[in-house]
Amino acid sequence: MTIDWWTLGLQTVNAVVLVWILARFLFRPVSRILAERQAAAHAALDEAEAAREEARAARDTAQRETAAIAAERAARIARAQDEAAQEKRRLLDEARAAAEKARAEGMDDLARLRATQERDLSVEAGALATDIAAKLLARLPDEARIAGFIDGLAEAVAKLPETTRAGIAGGGPVTLRSARALSAEEQAQIAQRLGAVLGTPPALSVETDATLLAGLELETPHAIVRNHFRADLDRIRAEIADHE
């Protein structure tokens, strides 16, 4: 077998040229394309990872915002409940205060009404007692309506201060009221008894006052001495009213 070295050399050169051509016009563009596609794939993967990270961040942010909103809502509900409870307590306190005030006012009104009724009853009782006393005294002799009160009037005058007694004795006429018209004998008896306690009989100006019912009343510029049924009834009514 004979080797054709020229043919072999040419084929070798052709192979080298073919390899050079392939390397220059095929392998390099393909490698560049592959590198570009690989880079694009890596970029897409990076973008996808960035999008996932962004989505995760957005999700975390949304979760935090949701939790914050829920917490704020719970806080608002708690504040509203607390304010409602405070308002309820305030309204209850106002209602209790109003009820207590109304009760106190009602008690005051009741007390005033009771006091008014008691005063009215006292006045009616006094009027009734006066009527009863007048009817009873009307059945007594006229002498009893005066004679039984002369000594008591003199005793009351005797208890006055000395200066007051001196003013009665040395002054002008003093008013003597009687439950009925006095006889001359009764006037003289009264003047005598008063003169005994005053040292000298006073000048008397006699008046008749049927409202006294029975008894006498001596009025001077310095004192009034009462010894009659009406004064006794007035005193009794006052004592009953004070006791009540």
Residue 243 above 60 pLDDT? no
pLDDT band at 240 (very low <50, low <70, confident <90, very high): low
pLDDT tens for each residue of 50-98: 878 888 888 888 888 888 888 888 888 888 888 888 888 888 888 888 8
3-12, 106-115, 118-127 — which one is most confidently predicted on average? Answer: 106-115
**pLDDT score of 214:** 85
**pLDDT score of 70:** 84
Per residue, what are the HEC states of the chain?
A: CCCCHHHHHHHHHHHHHHHHHHHHHHHHHHHHHHHHHHHHHHHHHHHHHHHHHHHHHHHHHHHHHHHHHHHHHHHHHHHHHHHHHHHHHHHHHHHHHHHHHHHHHHHHHHHHHHHHHHHHHHHHHHHHHHHHHHHHHHCCCCCHHHHHHHHHHHHHHHCCCHHHHHHHHHCCCEEEEECCCCCHHHHHHHHHHHHHHHCCCCCEEEEECHHHCCEEEEECCCCEEEEEHHHHHHHHHHHHHHHC
| Residue bearing the bigger pLDDT, 33 or 219 | 219
Q: Does domain 141-243 have CATH number 3.30.2320?
A: yes
pLDDT tens for each residue of 17-54: 777 776 666 666 767 777 777 777 777 777 878 878 88
| pLDDT more than 90, % of the chain | 4
Mean pLDDT of 131-139: 65
